[in-house]
Structure formats: structure tokens, C-alpha cells
């Protein structure tokens, strides 16, 4: 191993990743989590939360376009978007690319993280926080959704995975998704960051799929390979009406042009369709997955 400073991420007790550090930009703890922002030799500027990689400069666009854009295209003409989590501002950035969007509300529990991302990671938000369509609310998303009467066309869940003692455990249950459903307009679409989609650590991804099927008429799990996350990564799209698999490529192109999404750096019409075709091992795992509920939550075991 080469000399110098290394940052170690213990993904589980069986899997350890090491990263060569060029610069330690920030390290500290907010009320909710450990925050480290580093410049890595391969990934560039990278955010770690609770010692786990969250987003890296080299490929954050792959993750954020994959999370956001399929739901925007599936809806077709969203005017209002709610983002749950997404402290870096990149999820907000991608939602605001749709020229139909008139209002984007971002609710994140960790105001310290949001301010640190504004200060040190402006490459992610690219002015999204200052956009007049944006409203940032520092609050627990669970509490926010139980207080507000507002409904949205698209809701995007960009949360950390449910670690023991963490704030997001209650934000991945059947009961919570029922609340989400009630805050979507007719034709509304939900996108959920859903964790690893590799052959071994896919239980969270597949459990979210079967949980969403308890609530939504259309649920389409999908995936993308994210280099900085070291594995294929899962997402779920849940819709009240439109099935993204029923959108032919010419219709996807028409919607992208209408929405002003021609200049994306990762997603294209062919890739949109291919997102939703899953490997056989994920299909098999779905057959064994269990519904996540308040009485039986999913807690990621390290």
C-alpha cells in the first residue's frame, strides 16, 4: 500500500474500503451525524456521512440524474416537487432543470450539513439554493408531512439508509409511504434512493420494492452503477398512474424536449428504458423480501 493518509469506510463487518486522501476539507459532527468532506485521489471532492461515502465529484451526476430524472419524465409536466433529504443540493439542482417546475421544496433534518454543503460543495448545487423557485425547510420530514396540507406532483426521497439510532428509520415504512401517497397530486410520482443492488447486500432495495407495492398502483425498481459507491445502486419509482415501462422511446424523447432536459450528462432516452430491466438475482430476492412497517422496520446491519 502506498504511503500517505487513508480514509477507511467499513461498509459492513465483512467489507472494508480504503481511499487515498489528498486533502481533508472538513471533519466534524452535527447534531445528527458525523460529517467528513475530503478530496480523494480518484473521486475528487467526496462527502462521507457517519464514515460512509454519500456523494463524490467524479460521478455525483450519475447518482442524481438516476434518482431524479426518471420521475420527472414519468410525470411529464411536474409543477411542484418535494425533496426529502438531499443536503448537498444536487437533487434540488436536477429537479429544477425541468422548465415546468414552479416550486421545489427541500426538507432536510440537518441544517448544519446543508450549510456545510453550501460552503464546501457548491459544485453540487450550482446555484439551486438561490433559485427563486426553491424553499429550504430544516425539519424532520416525518413531522413536516404530518403538518403540511400541501400536495406535490413529484416527491423524491434522497435519504441515508436506516442505521440503528439514525433519524431515517421511520422514513422507509409502509405507513410513511401511505402518508407520501396522500401528499401526491393525481398522477403523482415518488422516487426513492434504495441502497445497494449487488448480489449480496440487496435486502433493503428489494424490501422497499415490496413495501411500496402495498401502497402504490405502479412500482418499478431500477438501478444504475455508481463508481464511487463501489457497486450497482438501487432506486424505486412509485406512481399513482403512469407506468414508465409503457413510455416508448419516442415519447421519452418528446417529454425530455418538452421539459428542457436535452442537456443531461448521463441519462438518455435509451438508458431511461433500460434502467427498469433488472438482473435475475434481484427478481429472485424480491420473492423473499418482506414488507417494512413501523412495527417491523428495516435497520441496516453494519
Handedness of CA 165, 288, 189, 217 (dihedral sign): negative
DSSP letter for each residue of 147-198: H----EEEEEEE----BTT-TTGGGGSHHHHHHHHHTEEEEEEEEEEEEE-S
CA distance 266 to 193: 17
Residues in CB range of 291: below 8 A, 6 or more apart: 174, 207, 210, 211, 214
Q: Phi-psi region for residue 4, left (φ > 0), alpha (ψ -120 to 50) or beta?
A: left
Distance of CA 177 to the CA centre of its chain: 15
Closest CA to 202 of 136, 268, 279, 120: 279
Cell of 16: 472494508
Q: Is 59 a catalytic residue?
A: no
In this structure, is the dihedral angle defined by the CA atoms of residues 220, 225, 229 and 230, taken in order, positive or negative?
Answer: positive
Q: Given the DSSP bridges, would you call strands 34-40 and 15-29 parallel, antiparallel or unpaired?
A: antiparallel
For residue 215, the SS3 value is coil
- Which residue has 431500477 as its cell numbers? 222
- Return the H-helix or E-strand segment holding 246: none
Indicate which residue of 50, 158, 198, 250 is catalytic: 158
User: Annotated catalytic sites, by residue?
Assistant: 158
Amino acid at each position: 500500500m502506498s504511503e500517505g493518509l487513508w480514509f477507511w469506510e467499513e461498509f459492513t463487518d465483512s467489507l472494508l474500503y480504503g481511499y487515498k486522501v489528498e486533502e481533508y476539507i472538513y471533519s466534524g459532527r452535527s447534531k445528527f451525524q458525523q460529517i467528513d468532506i475530503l478530496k480523494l485521489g480518484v473521486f475528487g471532492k467526496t462527502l462521507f456521512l457517519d464514515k460512509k461515502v454519500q456523494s463524490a465529484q467524479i460521478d455525483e451526476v450519475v447518482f442524481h440524474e438516476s434518482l431524479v430524472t426518471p420521475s420527472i419524465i414519468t410525470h411529464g409536466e411536474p409543477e411542484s416537487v418535494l425533496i426529502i433529504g438531499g443536503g448537498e443540493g444536487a437533487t434540488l439542482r436536477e429537479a429544477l432543470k425541468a422548465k415546468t417546475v414552479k416550486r421545489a421544496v427541500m426538507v432536510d433534518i440537518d441544517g448544519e450539513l446543508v450549510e456545510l454543503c453550501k460552503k464546501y460543495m457548491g459544485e453540487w448545487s450550482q446555484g439551486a439554493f438561490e433559485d427563486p423557485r426553491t424553499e429550504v425547510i430544516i425539519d424532520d420530514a416525518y413531522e413536516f408531512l404530518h403538518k403540511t396540507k400541501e400536495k406535490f406532483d413529484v416527491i423524491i426521497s434522497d435519504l441515508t439508509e436506516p442505521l440503528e439510532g439514525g433519524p431515517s428509520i421511520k422514513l422507509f415504512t409502509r405507513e410513511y409511504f401511505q402518508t407520501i401517497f396522500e401528499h401526491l397530486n393525481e398522477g403523482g410520482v415518488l422516487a426513492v434512493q434504495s441502497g445497494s443492488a449487488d448480489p449480496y447486500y440487496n435486502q433493503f432495495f428489494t424490501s422497499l420494492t415490496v413495501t411500496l407495492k402495498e401502497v402504490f398502483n405502479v412500482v418499478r425498481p431500477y438501478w444504475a452503477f455508481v463508481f464511487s459507491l463501489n457497486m450497482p445502486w438501487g432506486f424505486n419509482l412509485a406512481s399513482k398512474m403512469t407506468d414508465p415501462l409503457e413510455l416508448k422511446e419516442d415519447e421519452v424523447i418528446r417529454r425530455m424536449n418538452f421539459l428542457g432536459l436535452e442537456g443531461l450528462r448521463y441519462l438518455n432516452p435509451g438508458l431511461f428504458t433500460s434502467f427498469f430491466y433488472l438482473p435475475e438475482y434481484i427478481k429472485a430476492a424480491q420473492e423473499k423480501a418482506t414488507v417494512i412497517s413501523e412495527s417491523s422496520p428495516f435497520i441496516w446491519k453494519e
